[in-house]
A and B are shown apart, each in its own frame.
Chain A
Amino acid sequence: MTAPEALRLEYIANFEYSYAIGKHATKFMAALRDDAKLYGISCPGCHDVLVPPRPVCGRCGVETDGWVEVGPRGTLTGYTVVEIPFIDPMTGVKRPVPYGFAFVKLNGASTNIYHFLSESRHDYLSVGMEVEAVFREERDGSLADIIHFSPVTP
C-alpha cells in the first residue's frame, strides 16, 4: 500500500538582524579589541566578579559597581568535543567538527563563559585544567576576538 499524497512547502527565510550589545558589553568588547584585556564587574553585595559584565547582580538584585581585570588564564569547569555539525545561527553556515567547547572560569571571575578550545581530543581535557585565551591579531570588538582557549602546558 502506498502512503497517501502529503504535499510539503519548502522555503528559506533570510532575515537580517542587528543587536545593541549595551553599555557593559561595549566596555568589555572595546577593551578586548583595543588592549586584548578581559574585564568582569563586581557586585557590592556578594563581591562576586561577574563575566559577562552586566548592570545588576541577579542574585543580590543590586547594581554592580567595579570593573575588575580577569584572565586571560582560567580553568575548565566543563568541556566537550562537539562531533555533530549544525548551522551556526550567527553566520548561517555549518561549523566544522570536531571542536572543543567548554566552560571557562577566568582567573579572578566568579562565573563561567562558554568558548571554543584549541584542543579537540577529549582524552586530553579535564575539569580543573588550566587554559589561556588566544587572541586574534586583527580584532573587531566581538567575542570572536578570542579565537579559543588553549591548555597551558606546565
Chain B
Amino acid sequence: MSRSAAIVAVGQTKHAAKRLDVSIAEMVREAVDACLGSKELSFADIDAVVVGNMELFEGINQPELLMVASLGAVGKPVYKMNTGGTVGASAAICAEHLVRSGLHDVVLTVGYEKQSEGETQSAITTVGDPAWERSVMAGAIGNFAVMASTYVDRSGVTPEQAAKVAVKARTNACLNPYAHLQIADITVEDVLKSRVLAAPLKLLDMCPQSDGACAVVVAGEERARQITPRPSWIVSSATAHDQQFMGDSPARIADHRSLQAASKKAYAAAGITDPRTDFDVAEIYEPATYAELAMLENLGFCAPGDGGTLIDDGVTLIDGPMPVNPSGGVLATNPVGATALIRVAEAALQVMGEAEGGHQVPEVNWALATGYGGNAWTDVMVMTGEPR
C-alpha cells in the first residue's frame, strides 16, 4: 500500500482581468511565496516541482524555463503537465502520485495563466483536429453553448435557474479576497439581461478570462503532520478520458461520461456512497452556469434532470446543506492553467479551515474537487480532514 499524501499549504495571486504590472514569472512567484509563506516553508523544504498551463494561450513554449527561478526549481526535478483545462488538477494528482510512491516527500505544485496576453478563444479552438472540428469550432463559448442546448432539451433547466448559479458564484466571490469577478449586488435580472454570446449563454452565464496563479504543497504523511496541524488528506483521485472527437459523446455534459467514470472510481476508493450527504463542500470546474447544474447531476448530487432544483432549493448556496463553489468557482475566476488547481486548493482550504474573507464553510471534513477539459478529460479528487 502506498503512503498517505496531503495538501498542507495553498497560495494564490489576487486574480484579475489583466496583471499588467508583473511578468508571468513574477506572477507565479507571488503565488509560490504566498503558499510557502503560509506555513513558513522555504525552497529548501521542496523536493520537486510540478507545473502546468495552456502553452498556446501565451504562445511561449517550454515556459518552465522562464520561471525556473521563481519556482525554486534550479537543481530539482520539474514535472511538466499540459492537459488543457484539467492541467491544474492533473498537476495536483501528479504531485499526489509522486508523494504516495515515496519518490519525493514534499512537492510544490503550480498552475498559472495570463489570458490577457494572447488570443485565447482562437488558441482553445486548436484543441480540435485541424481536418475536422478546428475548421468550424466556435471557441469555448460556442462549444459550451451547443452542450448547454442539449442539456436544456433533456432536463428542462431554465434561464432563470442558470442565472441563479451566476448570482451564487459572483456573490460568493465577494467573500473570497482572491476571486476575480466579484459582483455584490448582482441579480437574476442582470444575468438574464446581459448580452447574448451564443444562446443560451449570456455574458454572465460564462466564466471570465483571468490572469492569475495558484500554488499548492503536497507532502507525505510524516512531513504533512509536521507542517500543519490539520492537513487536507487526499483520500482518492481519478482521471478519465472520453472520446477522440467532441461529437462522439451522445449528449456531452448532459451525459458526462468521463465525469461519471472518474467520480465513480474516486468515490469507490474513498467509500463515498451518497455524495450529497457524504461531502461537506464541493469545488467543481464549472465553465458555464448550465454546466454546473449538469455536472452536479453527473456527480450524483441529484437525480438526472434535477440539477435545476439544487439551485432553486438553495442546496448549493454557501449556507445551504451542500455548498458548491463557495470560492465563486470558475464563473468568478478563470486563469485556465490555474483553474483546476484552484478547485483542489479551495477544497483543501475548506478542509484545513483556512478559507479567508468569509467563504469558509463550517466544519468541513470531506471535500470534493474536479477538473474539466474539453469534455474529453475529467479529474476528480476526494479529500478529508480526518486523520489517515
Contacts and interface: CB of A to CB of B under 8 A. Distances in A.
A83 B196 contact: yes
A58 B244 contact: yes
A68 interface: no
A111 B247 contact: yes
B102 interface: no
Given A6-B21, A84-B198, A112 B149 contact: no
Interface centre among A77, A103, A113, A116 (most CB of B within 10 A): A103
A33 to B, nearest CB: 13
B146 A101 contact: yes
B153 to A, nearest CB: 4
Contacts of B149: 78-80, 127
B158 to A, nearest CB: 16
Interface residues of B, number: 46
A54 interface: yes
Nearest to A84: B197
Interface stretch (B117-125, B215-223, B231-239): B117-125
B245 A111 contact: yes
A64 B197 CA distance: 39
Nearest to B118: A13
B142 A103 contact: no
Nearest to B22: A6
A55 B24 CA distance: 41
Given A6-B21, A143-B131, A114 B136 contact: yes
B130 interface: yes
A57 B232 CA distance: 40
A81 B201 CA distance: 10
Interface in B116-163: 119, 121-123, 125-126, 128-139, 141-142, 145-150, 153
Contact of A144 (B135, B142, B195, B199): B135
A80 B145 contact: yes
B271 interface: no
Interface string A83-117: 11011111000010000011101000001111110
A53 B75 CA distance: 47
A52 B196 contact: no
Contact of A86 (B121, B146, B244, B246): B121
B86 to A, nearest CB: 18
Interface in B174-218: 195-201
B41 interface: no
A80 B125 contact: no
A42 B136 CA distance: 24
Contact of A81 (B130, B198, B246, B252): B198
A6 B20 contact: yes
A89 B130 CA distance: 10
A112 B142 contact: no
B247 A25 contact: no
Nearest to B139: A86
Given A82-B138, A101-B146, A127-B150, A25 B248 contact: no
Interface string B327-367: 00000000000000000000000000000000000000000
A29 interface: yes
B277 interface: no
Contact of B141 (A22, A25, A82): A82
A34 to B, nearest CB: 17
B245 to A, nearest CB: 6
A8 B131 contact: no
A116 B199 contact: no
A90 B133 CA distance: 11
Contact of B131 (A29, A78, A80): A29
B251 interface: yes
Contacts of A78: 146-147, 149-150, 153, 252
The 5 closest A-B pairs by CB, nearest first: A112-B247, A80-B145, A127-B153, A78-B146, A21-B131
Interface of A: 3-4, 6, 8, 13, 17, 19, 21-22, 25, 29, 50-52, 54, 58, 77-84, 86-90, 95, 101-103, 105, 111-116, 122, 126-128, 142-144
22 contacts: A22-B131, A58-B243, A78-B149, A80-B142, A80-B198, A81-B199, A82-B141, A82-B142, A83-B199, A84-B141, A89-B134, A90-B135, A101-B142, A101-B146, A103-B146, A103-B150, A103-B246, A105-B247, A112-B250, A113-B132, A114-B136, A143-B135
